[in-house]
Structure formats: structure tokens, C-alpha cells
Homo-oligomer: A and B are copies of this chain.
Amino acid sequence: MPGAVVCFGELLIRLSGPGHERLLQSPRLDVAIGGAEANVAVGLSRFGHKASMASVVADNELGRGAIAALRAQGVDTSLVRLAPGRMGLYFLSQGAVSRPSSVLYDRADTAFARLAKSLTDPAEVLSGARWLHVSGVTPAVGPHAAQAAVDLAKAAKAQGVHVSFDGNYRAQLWASWDGNGPDILREILSCATLAFINERDIALILGEGFASRHAAFARTFEVFPSLTWIAATTRNLSSVNHQVLSAELVSRTERFVSRAHELAGVVDRIGAGDAFAAGLLHGFLSGQGPQASLEFAVASAVIKHSIPGDFNLTYVEEVEDILADGGLDVRR
């Protein structure tokens, strides 16, 4: 039986050069499985929640490998369909010093993009769920994925399943077909209880500029009456591998601000936003208050920066240890 949180989105195979090498500098690529929603599912599973992935993967060794990676992390994959087609890939060049990491997508015309709609049955997906998590990446993949995401969000709202939406506006993907990104995202947002979204996302979705993050959030609450919470991180980079991370969680009446974490010697920043989302959902699901949930979420994201790959391979104890200032020296 699917878990309390269902994540809907595409599974991706990530390919990156070893260490800080450029792509093809050595004839070898390191592989990781990822995808914005899959990363959240893995995070939640590792935090002790029953998380399900709903998706479509290619019916070949790559698709089955992606499923295996999720299952290894305890994610329920009974809602992942195998279908003809190709897997979405992305190639990552890990940056360093002043050269930012860069992502090269190769995810056009995938099994997910083609069949996300026809192979996803909202009733089945949402049966037993308390939360549906979906990100702005999913509808950006193409018309079928967009329709599936919208339908799922609406069905969730209709039957009282909370919708968690992570905004990530990916211009590169929206540019690959003729979908109206803002319209579609507004449809999903109108079903959401919780949005991970910042002033830049909001400006794109609402088609208007804002003087401040505060103003953007205020307008978002106005436009989307179902929305209860907005969460957003703030990231300051003095170098690719040295950053400061904090976050805030805002409701219509309150604003919670996390402590700021200095991140020195960042190993892998990919998936940190998803680790933040998984952390916040963990806080909510386990009945912690907003401030505690937010702190847990940021500390979860902090840890992700120390772990290679897309998945946040951590434990509740490790996150809490950071919050308790448990010390940075070797544990033995």
C-alpha cells in the first residue's frame, strides 16, 4: 500500500565526471539516481515515513535501475510504471572555486514525458495519502506531465490530501515546448497547502515584479486562498564550495526564520532544496511546530551539501545532532 506521502515526478539518471572533471575529461561517468520529487521521497523514507513514488520509467535496465535505487532507500515503488521509451538523463559538471556547477539536460521525449498522463490514475495514486508532493519541474517536462500534475493536484485538493508544491521554475524546460508555464503552475498552486517558492518564482508565475520577498509572499497568499505556508531558503555564495544557508517559513500571520549555517567545503549541492522540503514535511508529519520544523528542514539541507549524489543519505539523528551543536570532530 502506498505511503502517507506520494511524490509525483520524473526519475532521472545523473551522469557526472569524476571529482571536479569536465564531462568526458576522463572516459568515465559517475552515476546517481535523482529527480526533484524522488529526492523528497527518499528523504522522507530515511526520516522514517512511508513515502511512495508515482512515476513512469523506461522498461529497460536503466528504468529498472532507477526503481531499484528508490527501493533500496525504502521508498514504495508500486506506483512506478514501466513503459516503452527512454529515461530522462542529466549530465552534471561539478563546479569549484568560481566555476559554477552546470547541468546539461537530456530529457526530451522520455517515457515519463510521453506517458505520465495516461499511466497515472489519480484515484490509485492518492488512495491512502495524506500529502501529495510535486514540483514545478514536473509540469515543465511537457503537456502530458503538466496535465497529470494538474489533475493530481486537483484530485488531491478535492479529497482532502494536502498538496506540497516546490516552485523551481526551469526556463530551459518550459522553452522546450509551448506550454503556458505560469497558467499551469497557478493551477497547481491553487491546490497547494504548502509552497516552496521564492520571490523569483512568484514573479514568473504571477507575471508581476515585487519590491521584496515580503511583498511577493503577501501577494501569493492573496492570489491562492488555499495556501497555508510558504517556505523559502536563502543562499549566499562566496565561492562555489563556500556558502551560507538559511530559510524562512511564512504563514498568513506568522514568520519563522531559521538560524544561518555556514557551509564550508561543499561536496554536492544538488538536491539540497529537496532535502529542505523533505525536512519540513518531516517536521509537519511528526507534529513539530513551525520553528522546529523549519530548523530541521534547514539542517537537513545543510547535511545534503556533504553527501555526493542527489539523495540526502542521512538520518534523523544526524540532523538533530547538527541542531544540538553536537560537535564537528570525529565521532568514535
Residues of A near any B CB (own CB < 8 A): 15, 19-32, 60-62, 65, 68-69, 71-74, 86-87, 89-91, 93, 95-106, 108-109, 170, 172, 235, 237-242, 261-267, 269-270, 299, 302-303, 305-309, 313-314, 318, 322, 326-332
Which B residues touch A103, using CB under 8 A?
330-332
Are A330 and B269 in touch, CB under 8 angstroms?
yes
* Interface residue from B23, B101, B241 paired with A265 (Cβ < 8 Å): B241
Decide if A97 touches B305 in the complex (CB within 8 Å).
yes
Between A and B, 12 residue pairs with Cβ closer than 8 Å are A15-B29, A23-B62, A26-B26, A27-B30, A27-B32, A62-B104, A89-B89, A96-B265, A96-B267, A98-B263, A239-B263, A270-B330
Q: Which residues of chain B are near A109, meaning CB under 8 Å?
A: 108-109
Number of copies: 6
A31 touches B31 (CB 8 A): no
> Are B100 and A330 in contact, CB atoms less than 8 angstroms apart?
yes
Q: What residues of chain B lie closer than 8 Å to A25, measured between beta carbons?
A: 27, 308-309, 313
Cα–Cα, bound, A289→B108 (Å): 43
Contact A22 B102 (CB under 8 A): no
Q: Return the chain B residue nearest A137 by Cβ.
A: B332
Whether A100 pairs with B328 at a CB distance below 8 angstroms is yes
Task: Say yes or no: A265 contacts B239, CB within 8 Å.
Answer: yes
Cα distance A75–B318 when bound, in Å?
Answer: 28
Which 5 pairs of residues, A with B, have the shortest CB-CB distance?
Answer: A24-B65, A103-B332, A96-B306, A239-B264, A72-B72
CB distance from A299 to the nearest CB of B (A): 8
Q: Are B86 and A22 in contact (CB under 8 A)?
A: no
State which of B65, B73, B299 has its C-beta within 8 Å of the C-beta of A23: B65
Known: A265-B241, A267-B20, A308-B25. A106 touches B86 (CB 8 A): yes
A322 CB to closest chain B CB, in angstroms?
5
Contact B269 A306 (CB under 8 A): no
Which residues of B have CB within 8 Å of A330? 95, 100-103, 269-270
Contacts of A93 in B (CB 8 A): 61
Which residue of chain B is the closest to A303 with respect to CB atoms? Answer: B99
* Given A26-B26, A27-B30, A103-B330, A98 and B322 contact (CB-CB distance below 8 Å): yes
Assuming the contacts A25-B313, A100-B330, asked whether A72 and B68 have C-beta atoms less than 8 A apart, the reply is yes
A265 to B264, CA, bound (A): 9
Q: Contacts A15-B29, A239-B262: A306 and B97 contacting too (C-beta < 8 A)? A: yes
11 new A-B contacts, CB < 8 A, other than A97-B266, A98-B303, are: A20-B267, A20-B306, A21-B308, A22-B61, A24-B61, A29-B31, A72-B72, A99-B322, A100-B330, A242-B265, A269-B330
Specify which of A98, A109, A235, A267 lies most central, judged by the most chain B CB atoms within 10 Å of its CB. Answer: A98
